[in-house]
Chains A and B, each alone.
Chain A
């Protein structure tokens, strides 16, 4: 058993024990009911088949909360020191974060996403493998807990816990690191979210599955900055 698998199983076990209780896992992640990640046709995503050129976009733990699923690929595995949680998948190279910029709350919607994972590099980041927000130039490192690398953001992106099931190579989201940002996000965009999802729907739980699609196919315009 390699270390990564151990961490995954361990986190899963703790999650099971703590189910239904308040937050407070060792990894700082608050539990929410798990949701299996599926593709646009409803088939479970396979961790070993995820593309590395861009992030996948899914919603979790509520219908209105966008999250990135990123296959870091050669960009490197999470070193486990920063990320909460460490990467998942057989290679430990899958990470997930809430796709809301912690600076001034820019997020991907159907029309536009000014925040994206720039696998190939970008003018703003100056190197590959960073999450960049074009609105005010914040750059986050997804291989290191999405800590801020440069720009005005003061907080890292909010981590999402992924759980990998080696038996069928599927992925589930099982928790996020704190809900304060989500509360602010819901307040700031309430009217927009009602328009997009319907009254109250944006704050309902996503249910058993969450559809993950490439960001480029989710948002009409994804500016490269």
Chain B
């Protein structure tokens, strides 16, 4: 990896954090109660959720993804007095990470989904509560859900990301609905993975379009990895077809050397990568994708729109001002994740505004740190900051399995109160090999174990 290049990329992605010092500019600690649920007055009228009485300070964690599952487990471990409730709207887990491997048949769906919320909660002594969050009353310390209100002492919101289709020129709700159902990005919900898996299996040739958005999108290497996985299926099935990678960025955003080598050496006539080609519109009916100068036909597609914090963060009134995040993310303390001016409410995982990689290993390691911070705060102690770590594998060859990887840390500048870049000990491993191919699978299994087992 060219260092200047990677640093430039980092800074570009890190634009979000440029004004991270403006703590307290938004709603204060005792800000007015946030509007309740939209259109569910029955549950907003004070009905309590059916939960056991809290046996200690109640920590409510919203979101059963990598961040929420890690925090629920480790906060309880760090401070056993915590009474932890994990609120998750899904009733079945399936991971976003590793889903690309499924498209090439390297893993099955069980690999992603054979992990139970019930077991995670039982193994780690917390409560899994299957409900959807609809509102928040910060003054009254109540979380409002589809299953009633939950009083909290501490609240962690880890709802992940939503797509920002406006940024790829798709604004009309009808067009957005058609696009997200017909050509899903595959980076938010498991049902998108199932659709893309079907698309790849049923692809008979022609152009399979994979777009790469600008900004700090979830899992920087993933669209390129997916291009490799789809290309491997095209190669295996000897199809007359190609993967067209329309990249909004001027260069591959991470592990450039490793991906370029894979594109050139493994998929020379199968992957066509076009840099600096942001999508400006999609015509779903005509199967046309628009860029500034072109209208490009395709046969099937996974269209990855830009990424923003979950719309839940906006609904709850916790958005950072544009000066702090340029892609609609939460307004939290750079080091300790609490909402500006409110030491009881935290936003973690991919809704955060810090320019960290939005990836599983980042959220997992961050979760361990946040658990310690919460334990400290609950006991009236000073929390200690630590940077998350981004260990991330990308499978670039399916037969045999070969991968490349990166192991990145981050630097914090106290004077600016900013995350300023990758730390010095950041390393990339861009020569694909079978060792990393095996490690890619074990990497994921390790994170599942860390979240679901005791």
Contact = CB atoms under 8 A, between A and B. Distances in A.
Interface string A119-138: 00001000000000011110
A155 to B, nearest CB: 14
B446 A134 contact: no
Interface of A: 103-106, 112, 114, 123, 134-137, 152, 184, 187-188, 221, 223-225
Nearest to A112: B438
A134 B453 contact: no
Contact of B438 (A105, A187, A188, A221): A221
A225 B439 contact: yes
Contacts of A134: 435-436, 438-439, 442
Contacts of B446: 103-106, 135-136
Given A105-B453, A112-B438, A135-B442, 11 more contacts: A103-B446, A104-B449, A123-B429, A134-B442, A137-B391, A221-B438, A223-B435, A223-B436, A224-B433, A224-B435, A225-B439
Contact of B442 (A106, A187, A188): A106
Contacts of A123: 429
A184 B389 CA distance: 24
A106 B447 CA distance: 11
A136 B440 CA distance: 9
Nearest to A101: B446
15 contacts: A103-B446, A104-B446, A104-B450, A105-B446, A105-B453, A134-B438, A134-B439, A135-B446, A188-B453, A188-B454, A221-B438, A223-B437, A223-B439, A224-B433, A225-B436
Contacts of A137: 391, 407
A187 B450 contact: no
B389 A114 contact: no
B336 interface: no
A103 B443 CA distance: 11
A187 B454 contact: yes
A137 B406 CA distance: 10
* Majority secondary structure of chain B interface residues (helix, strand, loop or mixed): helix
A114 B436 contact: no
A184 B435 CA distance: 26
Interface of B: 123, 361, 365, 389, 391, 407, 429, 433-439, 442-443, 445-447, 449-450, 453-454
Contacts of A188: 449, 453-454
A188 B433 CA distance: 28
A187 B453 contact: yes
* Majority secondary structure of chain A interface residues (helix, strand, loop or mixed): loop
A23 B433 CA distance: 44
A52 to B, nearest CB: 22
A225 B403 CA distance: 11
Query: Which residue, of B123, B365, B407, B449, has the highest number of chain A Cβ atoms within 10 A?
Result: B449
Nearest to B444: A135
B216 to A, nearest CB: 23
A187 B119 CA distance: 11
A223 B434 contact: yes
Contacts of B442: 106, 112, 114, 134-135
A70 to B, nearest CB: 20
A184 B434 contact: no
A25 to B, nearest CB: 27
A225 B435 contact: yes
A184 B443 contact: no
A25 B308 CA distance: 56
A221 B442 CA distance: 13
Contacts of A184: 453-454
Nearest to A115: B442
Nearest to A124: B429
B449 A135 contact: no
Contacts of A104: 445-447, 449-450
Contacts of A105: 446, 449, 453
B389 A152 contact: yes
A224 B446 CA distance: 18
Contacts of A136: 361, 391, 443, 446
A152 B436 contact: no
Query: Which residue, of B435, B436, B454, has the highest number of chain A Cβ atoms within 10 A?
Result: B435
